[in-house]
């Protein structure tokens, strides 16, 4: 019984500490597709459609997960064939994940040399954001 009580105490302590530390919180305002696209282009450092071609686990130098995207269509930022992005390890730190081989609409922040993706603006599979992609293409055409 003592071990069970210790486990429960440890679990409660972990829950308390994780809820009191700087957990990730995303704004929950509902926006139109146009507002979302405008915010992506205004706030994001890179906006592109890309296929995940590689994933990487944390290293001593970088305590984050990494994902390499093969860029298929670029809307903002450097226009290169591939982009390496990173994300924090946990969702509590606003980290997110993507699946190898899938194609996403990606908004990355930070610098062009070290872009990051976050759970609040997580990459979305292209088949679910066709309207957003159409708006991005229209914006790219207009002066």
Q: Return per-residue pLDDT of the chain as tens, 143 residues.
A: 444 444 443 333 333 333 334 567 777 676 889 998 999 999 999 999 999 999 988 777 777 889 999 999 999 998 789 999 988 887 767 778 899 999 999 999 988 888 988 888 889 999 999 999 999 999 888 76
* Residue 8 domain flag: no
pTM of the model as a whole: 0.77
Tell me if 52 is assigned to some domain.
yes
Q: Is residue 3 part of a domain?
A: no
Range of the domain at 125: 31-138
CATH (domain of 120): 2.40.50.120
In a domain, 72, yes or no: yes
> How many whole angstroms separate alpha carbon 117 and alpha carbon 127?
19
> What total number of domains does the chain contain?
1
Q: Would 15 be classed as within a structural domain? A: no
Domain membership of residue 5 (yes or no) is: no
Residues sharing a CB contact under 8 Å with residue 41, sequence separation 6 or more, in sequence order: 47, 75, 76, 136, 139
> Does residue 70 fall inside a structural domain?
yes
Establish how many alpha carbons lie within 13 A of residue 28's alpha carbon, considering only the half-sphere containing its beta carbon.
2
Residue 92 placed within a domain: yes
């Amino acid at each position: 019984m003592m071990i069970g009580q210790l486990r429960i105490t440890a679990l409660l302590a972990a829950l308390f500490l994780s809820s009191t530390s700087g957990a990730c919180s995303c704004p929950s305002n509902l926006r139109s597709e146009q507002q979302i696209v405008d915010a992506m282009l205004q706030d994001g450092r890179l906006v592109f459609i890309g296929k995940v071609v590689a994933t990487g686990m944390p290293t001593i130098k970088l305590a984050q997960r990494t994902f390499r995207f093969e860029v298929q269509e670029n809307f903002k930022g450097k226009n290169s064939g591939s982009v390496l992005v990173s994300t924090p390890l946990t969702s509590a730190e606003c980290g997110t994940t993507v699946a190898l081989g899938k194609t996403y609409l990606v908004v990355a922040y930070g610098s062009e040399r070290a872009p990051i993706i976050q759970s609040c603006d997580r990459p979305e599979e292209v088949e679910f954001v066709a309207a957003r992609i159409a708006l991005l293409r229209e914006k790219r055409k207009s002066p």
